[in-house]
A and B are shown apart, each in its own frame.
Chain A
């Protein structure tokens, strides 16, 4: 009975430490997307390289693909760019760029300067398609399956770890 007086506070303390330790690992900026497991929002957007040609979401049905939201004004996009290029070279899935709230000329100059990893980029000039995709911090990356359902979302610059441990295995599963 006497020892309980010490064990109970110690137990409460340890539980508290557990919660705090878990809290340290959480990233408050990683907002879980309600769109995972839901069909990708429909869109009809002009191509960046050819504004007169529009692309619709349904054109991508039948294959798993990766959507990368980027902009020339976005610093972290520059950081992730080499990884995106490396991923594109591995040819594991079509890579579509969503050029978010950018100026067409700036975007094209950016691609010319750094290299263009995208099979094609779409212009979301006023950010409306971005809102439908729940975009709040560029860059963001989505994996969309053959049925057009969003299966994975990564917010912030792409890292080789996320590519190797999440996206590549998921694409193998979706294409398998």
Chain B
């Protein structure tokens, strides 16, 4: 019985696997380059996915476009340029460094430095305060008793 069941299950498995995977481009080097560019580009239909892993029809088309451009000898930069000309900076997961994007790049650093600055300032000020400005800690008393 178990053996018979195994045969049926094996048969079902082979049925579900019967559909071939779509053929990868003939040139694996080119395909790898296409993938490398596609993971840098945002799919505008499903915006939190890259063009490399989005199943949207537009991403299919854009991957085809990238492939064709690479075949024609375009550089990676030229392909990204081509995409930004059509879809804007938004298509790039790593936006170009320029006037309108400077806050994106520098903002976190400014916040970090500012935060550390405020922290240092506050700690320094507290260090100068007299001990009676603070509430006594519980373990201060414990230390007192031990002594």
Chain A interfacial positions (CB closer than 8 Å to B) = 28-29, 31-35, 101, 126-128, 131-134, 136-137
Contact = CB atoms under 8 A, between A and B. Distances in A.
Contact of A137 (B45, B65, B85, B86): B45
A163 B25 CA distance: 45
Interface residues of B, number: 15
Interface-central residue, A126, A127, A128, by most chain B CB under 10 Å: A127
B88 interface: yes
Contacts of B78: none
Contacts of B90: 31-32
Given A126-B61, A127-B61, A131-B65, A136 B44 contact: yes
B44 A34 contact: no
B61 A136 contact: no
A134 B61 contact: no
B105 interface: no
Interface string B112-145: 0000000000000000000000000000000000
B62 A131 contact: yes
B47 to A, nearest CB: 7
